[in-house]
């Protein structure tokens, strides 16, 4: 078996629950593995090895390395001290390149980058999560913001001096990277692609099953939200929109429930709107998600912190117009009329955009048409994986 030239390492605090960085790393590696010796190593909730097509995947059990804050710190901060046996395996395997994905847990990110670089291994990183790392709009308290800066922003920033290249997801990110010390010649644009599953339309049977399962009415516009039900993803904005919308609509809230009581808790927080029906789906399969992309009239994405969301690319792929807050690389995704952008935090602007979109089918059709063309021209794993391989080769050949 050919030894890997490059090992892609996905760090995580969520075990086997795949976030955007892990999904993106997986697809980019699977496409690279067709023509380049690469492996994917992941922090996980158990040790295992398997293949995805030609890609070898190795999962490493996550554990707490040290946690001097103990129970005094919030759970999300304690998670920053997770570690695994990935570094020791890197030192044993000695690949020519390691490629880091996801800056959290940040101390593991820093330690792996520094130790590998000092051992003569080339180190690169993708910027999944960098925007959120630099601008944590998570409703943190003042002491939590201080701890975030010390335990996330600073370790990741320190590690950048050891990087041979940074794979940036959108052009405007370059300034942020240069401001924290990355030289311009090390920054390479490599946008996310799309899961090929979403390139094939859902079937009528799949759509019918989703309508039946969630008791959806097709008489009124369907407004779809899919994502984590955490503060930064903007679910509160979606539900406040539902409470104030002046037109009949169905709001479909996708994503795993935090608790069984969550739907009732949200309903108690916002005024009831008799024109609107709200459906919480809980976890959605990819088949159900694709069907809802096709059934919905608009995707709502008022995230407060995101880099280059895969969900938006999936919506563009499936001809679903997007209304989103302008954060991170979303303006790059939706520029030139490929979506409706609203200044982050401008609820009135967001509500106005929703009202306009559901009242104007021609507008939705035009946005969807432009978005699909943009997705096809820019957001492709075939293109990004080849760019990544080319940069790997350049770095390997550097003296």
Is residue 7 over pLDDT 50? Answer: yes
* CB of 107 closer than 8 Å to CB of 100: no
Residue 247 has pLDDT above 90, yes or no: yes
Q: What gap in Å lies between CA 135 and CA 103, rounded to an integer?
A: 13
Measure the CA angle with vertex 361, ends 369 and 238; round to 5°.
95
**Is the Cβ–Cβ distance between 308 and 192 less than 8 Å?**
yes
Q: How many Å is the Cα radius of gyration of the chain?
A: 21
* 155-200 pLDDT, tens digit each: 999 999 999 999 999 999 999 999 999 999 999 999 999 999 999 9
Q: Which of 7-16, 146-155, 379-388 has the highest mean pLDDT?
A: 379-388
Res 189: pLDDT: 97
What is the reported pLDDT for 231?
Answer: 85
Rounded to whole angstroms, how far apart are CA atoms 317 and 337?
15
263 contact partners, CB below 8 Å, separation of at least 6: 253, 257, 278, 280
Rounded Cα distance, 11 and 110, in Å: 11
Query: pLDDT tens, 307-338?
Result: 999 999 999 999 999 999 999 999 999 999 99
Asked if pLDDT for residue 5 goes beyond 60, the answer is: yes
pLDDT band at 145 (very low <50, low <70, confident <90, very high): confident
Phi (first) and psi of residue 327, to 5 degrees: -130, 155
Residue 118 in this model has a pLDDT that exceeds 80: yes
pLDDT at 8 over 80: yes
CB of 7 within 8 A of CB of 97?
yes
Q: What DSSP state is assigned to residue 184?
A: G
Asked if pLDDT for residue 59 goes beyond 50, the answer is yes
Separation of alpha carbons 305 and 135, rounded Å: 7
User: Do 155 and 109 form a contact (C-beta atoms < 8 A)?
Assistant: yes
228-237, 240-249, 388-397: the lowest-pLDDT one: 228-237
Angle at alpha carbon of residue 124, lines to 118 and 125, rounded to 5°: 125
Question: Coil, strand or helix: which one is 335?
Answer: coil
Taking 70 as the threshold, does the pLDDT of residue 70 lie above it? Answer: no
Tokens representing residue 82 in the block: 């997770």
Q: Is 278 exposed, middle or buried (0-12, 13-18, 19+ CB in 10 A)?
A: buried
pLDDT reported for residue 64 = 81
Q: Which residues partner with 126 through β-bridges?
A: 167
In 3D space, the residue among 299, 319, 292, 314 whose CA is nearest the CA of residue 373 turns out to be: 319
**Residue 40: its H or E element:** strand 38-44
User: How much is the pLDDT for 76?
Assistant: 59
The closest of 344, 339, 368 to 354, measured between CA atoms, is 339
Per-residue pLDDT band for 287 (boundaries 50, 70, 90) equals: very high
| 326/306 Cα distance (integer angstroms) | 9
> Which of 29, 57, 32, 61 has the alpha carbon at shortest distance from 44?
61
User: Does residue 216 register a pLDDT over 90?
Assistant: yes
The helix/strand/coil state of 58 is: strand
Q: Among 69-83, 239-253, 257-271, 280-294, whose mean pLDDT is lowest?
A: 69-83
User: For residue 142, what pLDDT band results from cuts at 50, 70 and 90?
Assistant: confident
Q: Supply the pLDDT for residue 69.
A: 47
What is the distance between the alpha carbons of residues 345 and 227, in angstroms, rounded to a whole number?
18
pLDDT of residue 113 exceeding 80, the answer is yes
Can you give the length of the chain in residues? Answer: 399
């Amino acid at each position: 078996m050919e030894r890997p030239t490059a090992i892609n390492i996905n760090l995580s605090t969520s075990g086997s629950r795949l976030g955007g960085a892990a999904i993106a790393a997986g697809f980019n590696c699977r496409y690279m593995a067709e023509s380049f010796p690469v492996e994917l190593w992941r922090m996980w909730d158990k040790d295992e090895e398997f293949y995805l097509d030609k890609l070898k995947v190795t999962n490493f059990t996550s554990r707490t390395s040290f946690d001097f804050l103990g129970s005094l710190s919030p759970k999300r901060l304690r998670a920053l001290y997770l570690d695994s046996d990935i570094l020791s395996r890197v030192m044993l395997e000695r690949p020519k390149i390691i490629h880091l994905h996801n800056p959290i847990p940040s101390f593991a990110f820093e330690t792996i980058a520094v130790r590998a670089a000092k051992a003569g291994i080339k180190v690169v990183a993708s910027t999944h999560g960098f925007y959120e790392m630099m601008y944590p709009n998570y409703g943190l308290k003042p002491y939590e913001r201080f701890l975030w800066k010390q335990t996330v922003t600073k370790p990741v920033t320190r590690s950048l001096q050891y990087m041979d290249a940074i794979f940036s997801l959108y052009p405007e990110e370059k300034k942020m990277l240069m401001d924290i010390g990355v030289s311009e010649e090390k920054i390479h644009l490599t946008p996310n692609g799309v899961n090929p599953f979403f390139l094939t339309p859902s079937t009528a049977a799949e759509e019918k099953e989703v309508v039946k399962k969630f008791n959806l009415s097709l008489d009124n516009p369907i407004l779809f939200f899919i994502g984590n039900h955490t503060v930064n993803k903007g679910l509160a904005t979606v539900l406040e929109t539902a409470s104030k919308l002046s037109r009949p609509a169905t709001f479909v809230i996708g994503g795993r429930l935090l608790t069984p009581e969550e739907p009732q808790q949200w309903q108690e927080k916002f005024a009831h709107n008799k024109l609107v029906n709200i459906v919480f789906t809980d976890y959605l399969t990819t088949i159900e998600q694709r069907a809802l992309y096709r059934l919905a009239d608009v995707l709502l994405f008022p995230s407060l912190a995101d880099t280059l969301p895969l969900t938006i690319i999936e919506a563009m792929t499936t001809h679903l117009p997007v209304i989103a807050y302008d954060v991170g690389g979303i303006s790059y995704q939706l520029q030139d009329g490929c979506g409706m952008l609203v200044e982050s935090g401008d609820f009135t602007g967001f509500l106005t955009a929703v009202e306009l979109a559901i009242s104007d089918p021609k507008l939705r059709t035009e946005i969807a048409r432009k978005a699909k063309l943009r997705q096809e021209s820019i957001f492709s794993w075939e293109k990004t994986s080849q760019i990544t391989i080319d940069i790997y080769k350049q770095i390997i050949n550097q003296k």
